[in-house]
Structure 1
Amino acid sequence: MTTDTMTARVTLKKVTPDVSAAMRALNAATVSAATSAGLDASLLELVRIRASQINGCAYCLDLHTREARAAGETEQRIYTLNAWSEAPFYTERERAALALTEAVTLVHDGRVPDPVYQQASEVFSEAEVAALIWAATVINAYNRIAIATRMTP
Structure 2
Amino acid sequence: MEKRIKIDQVEPVGYKAILGLEKFIESTPLSRTHKELIKIRASQINGCAFCIDMHTKEARKAGETEQRIYALNAWRDTSFFSEDERAILALTEEVTLISNHVKDETYQAALKVLGETYLAQVILAIITINAWNRIGIATQLMPV
Query: TM-score, normalization: structure 2?
Result: 0.96
Counterparts of 1:17-96 in structure 2 under 5 Å?
A: 17-33=12-28, 35=29, 39-96=30-87
Identity %: 51
| Distance in 2, Cα, partners of 1:145 & 1:46 | 19
C-alpha root-mean-square deviation of aligned residues, in Å? 0.8
Cα offset, 1:97, TM superposition: 0.3
3-state SS, counterpart of residue 80 of structure 1: helix
Structure with the larger helix share = 2
TM-score (norm 1): 0.91
Aligned to 1:127, which of 117, 120, 123?
117
Determine the C-alpha separation between the residues in 1 that align with 2:97 and 2:102. 8
Alignment-mate amino acid for residue 138 of structure 2 = A
For structure 2, the 5+ residue unaligned runs are: none
Counterpart CA distance in 2 for 1:8 and 1:48 is: 25
Which stretches in structure 1 are left out of the alignment for 5+ residues?
1-5
Partner of residue 7, structure 1: 2
Matched AA of 1:93: D
Q: What's the offset of the Cα at 1:8?
A: 2.7
1:141: which partner in 2? 131
What is the alpha-carbon distance in structure 1 between the residues aligned to residue 2 and residue 78 of structure 2? 36
Give the SS at the match of 1:120.
helix
Q: How many positions carry a matched residue from both structures?
A: 143
